[in-house]
Amino acid sequence: MWRETVTKMDRRVVLVRVMALVLVMLVLMLAAYLYGLSRSPAGISEEDRENVALYVEAMRAVQEDYVDQEAVDPEEQTYGAIKGMIDSLGDEGHTRFLSPDEVEKSREAVSSTYVGIGIKLDENEDGESVIKAPMDGSPAEEAGIESGDVLVAVDGEGVKGEELEEIGQKVRGPEGTYVDLTVLRDREEREFTVERAELEVPVSSWALIPGTDVADLRLSSFSENSAEKLEGTIAEAQGAGAERFVLDLRDNPGGLVEQAEEVAALFLPAGSDVYVRRDADGNEEETAVPEDNEPLDAPLVVLVNEGSSSSAEIVAGALRDNGRAEVVGETTFGTGTVLSEYPLSDGSAILLGVAEWLTPNGDSIRGSGIEPDIEAELEEEQEPRTPSETEGLTREEIFEEDAQLERAFEILQEE
């Protein structure tokens, strides 16, 4: 009732007090910023002072006179301003602003472990959230959840129409806690209570193409220990009779550049260039495979698509430019900048591109991506198939679902 009877003058008084507090905070922040810059020879420029003042001026107008005062959120305004500044740089998909929650998720993305129940969600033609292939040995698998189950509710709340990311946030939680899932299987609803646990991310997997000596090696990211895990995967495949390999980097978003160097070294001779780093001043530095390296000496094809980015592009470019493997598929995303994290005072951060990756031949990756030696596209209704998804299928059935993998296989057959 009080909110309904408050007068315009009362609102003005409250707004003035809030604005005064915000302005004091901004002045203190600006003073700290100026002090920090003043400790360097350059200090802050007059242009920077004018820009900061302009932002304060615009923010004051919004907070004093915008028609929907309940929609005014100083934190969101500041985050929006920072995002706008970052977006103006044009380094789409790489240089970016992260909220405190996004900072935590970003760090989890390059970790080899995470807390969850071990499921992956996908959306079917009817807009339903479908569980795909629960991870081997995961809490979800042990609880009896199966691939193809349609997720109906999380902790009793329906999820129909929600985005997959929203649903994922509901499923995730602290280690040792429980989540109740309602799924639809064979037109019957079933209830499962699953304990969340720390799980190791399956970044590397393999499968033999049935009836052949060709192994499909899948690397899903360049997180911690990815190269070591891929090396173990190669050894397992060789033990099963593999003599030729497809390195599948499709939809690999990249990750740690150190892992890209180590993955490339699994296949490249000692002394081979992996990439060139060019900084903002135009200085270039080459990174090469260690002199004592002993790589895999076997026929190899690299498979990429538009979802391959960052470290995946570094590896594809290195193997292509050194003549070690042909690259098959589609042009990659084009993420060619070196990121440095700049933490901000509230736990948010800026991931800023401070240098650029070039392939060993000097080709820029940024914006243009890695063009395949041999183009191959998926047919309608096809999608990249992982080794776990091809388990139990015949060679013909696999290739019916994945034309790019079939093309990579054909190239290896010609060698």
Token reading at 224: 């911690």
What mean pLDDT comes out for the span 234-243?
98
Sequence-separated (6 or more) residues with CB below 8 Å from residue 142 = none
**pLDDT computed for residue 304 by the predictor:** 97
β-bridge mates for residue 222, sequence order: 255
Q: Which of 161, 185, 200 is a domain's end point? A: 200
**pLDDT computed for residue 374 by the predictor:** 97
Are 186 and 236 within one domain? Answer: no
Are 247 and 179 within one domain? Answer: no
Query: Given pLDDT bands bounded at 50, 70 and 90, which one contains residue 8?
Result: very low
Is pLDDT larger for residue 114 or for residue 272?
272
* CATH code of the domain in which 135 resides: 2.30.42.10
% of the chain exceeding 70 in pLDDT: 87
Average pLDDT, the chain: 85
Are 231 and 351 within one domain? Answer: yes
**pLDDT computed for residue 193 by the predictor:** 97
In contact, 364 and 336? CB cutoff 8 Å: yes
Are 213 and 346 within one domain? Answer: yes
pTM of the model: 0.70
In contact, 364 and 338? CB cutoff 8 Å: no
**pLDDT computed for residue 241 by the predictor:** 97
Asked if residue 1 has pLDDT above 50, the reply is no
Asked if residue 17 has pLDDT above 70, the reply is no
Are 376 and 242 within one domain? Answer: yes
Measured CA distances, 386 to 48, 370, 391 (Å): 50, 22, 9
**pLDDT computed for residue 35 by the predictor:** 44
Sequence-separated (6 or more) residues with CB below 8 Å from residue 221 = 109, 110, 201, 203, 252, 253, 254, 255
User: What whole-number distance in Å separates Cα of residue 122 and Cα of residue 124?
Assistant: 7
Q: Which of 132, 165, 200 is a domain's end point? A: 200
What mean pLDDT comes out for the span 269-295?
95
Range picked from 35-39, 42-46, 62-66, 236-240 for highest mean pLDDT: 236-240
Least confident stretch, 162-171, 239-248, 290-299: 162-171
Asked if residue 356 has pLDDT above 80, the reply is yes
Asked if residue 217 has pLDDT above 70, the reply is yes
Are 233 and 346 within one domain? Answer: yes
Ramachandran category for residue 136: left, alpha or beta (phi over 0 → left; psi -120 to 50 → alpha): beta
Least confident stretch, 105-109, 361-365, 369-373: 105-109
Is pLDDT larger for residue 127 or for residue 250?
250
Are 69 and 155 within one domain? Answer: no
Asked if residue 9 has pLDDT above 50, the reply is no
Query: Given pLDDT bands bounded at 50, 70 and 90, which one contains residue 253?
Result: confident
Asked if residue 121 has pLDDT above 90, the reply is no
Q: Give me the sign of the Cα torsion angle 137, 142, 148, 150.
A: negative
Q: What does the pLDDT look like over 34-61, one tens digit per residue?
A: 445 444 444 568 887 887 888 888 888 8
Is pLDDT larger for residue 397 or for residue 91?
397
Query: Given pLDDT bands bounded at 50, 70 and 90, which one contains residue 389?
Result: confident
Asked if residue 278 has pLDDT above 80, the reply is yes
Measured CA distances, 90 to 83, 94, 95, 138, 381 (Å): 12, 9, 8, 40, 32
**pLDDT computed for residue 91 by the predictor:** 77
**pLDDT computed for residue 6 by the predictor:** 34
Asked if residue 165 has pLDDT above 70, the reply is yes
Are 194 and 209 within one domain? Answer: no
In contact, 94 and 353? CB cutoff 8 Å: yes
% of the chain exceeding 90 in pLDDT: 50
* CATH code of the domain in which 330 resides: 3.90.226.10
What mean pLDDT comes out for the span 231-243?
97
Are 359 and 212 within one domain? Answer: yes
Are 11 and 36 within one domain? Answer: yes
- Nearest-CA neighbor of 312 among 366, 368, 374, 263? 263
What is the largest distance, in Å, between two alpha-carbon atoms of the chain? 82
**pLDDT computed for residue 20 by the predictor:** 47
Full DSSP string of 198-257: EEE---EEEEEPTTSSEEEEEE--B-TTHHHHHHHHHHHHHHTT--EEEEE-TT---B-H
User: What whole-number distance in Å separates Cα of residue 168 and Cα of residue 166?
Assistant: 5
User: What whole-number distance in Å separates Cα of residue 96 and Cα of residue 349?
Assistant: 9
**pLDDT computed for residue 110 by the predictor:** 58
User: What whole-number distance in Å separates Cα of residue 260 and Cα of residue 256?
Assistant: 7
Are 193 and 282 within one domain? Answer: no
If one counts the domains in the chain, the total is 3
Q: Write out the residue range of the structural domain in which residue 53 sits.
A: 2-106
Query: Given pLDDT bands bounded at 50, 70 and 90, which one contains residue 80?
Result: confident
In contact, 344 and 270? CB cutoff 8 Å: no
User: What whole-number distance in Å separates Cα of residue 329 and Cα of residue 2?
Assistant: 64
Are 381 and 248 within one domain? Answer: yes
Rg (CA), the chain: 26
Q: Which of 63, 84, 106 is a domain's end point? A: 106
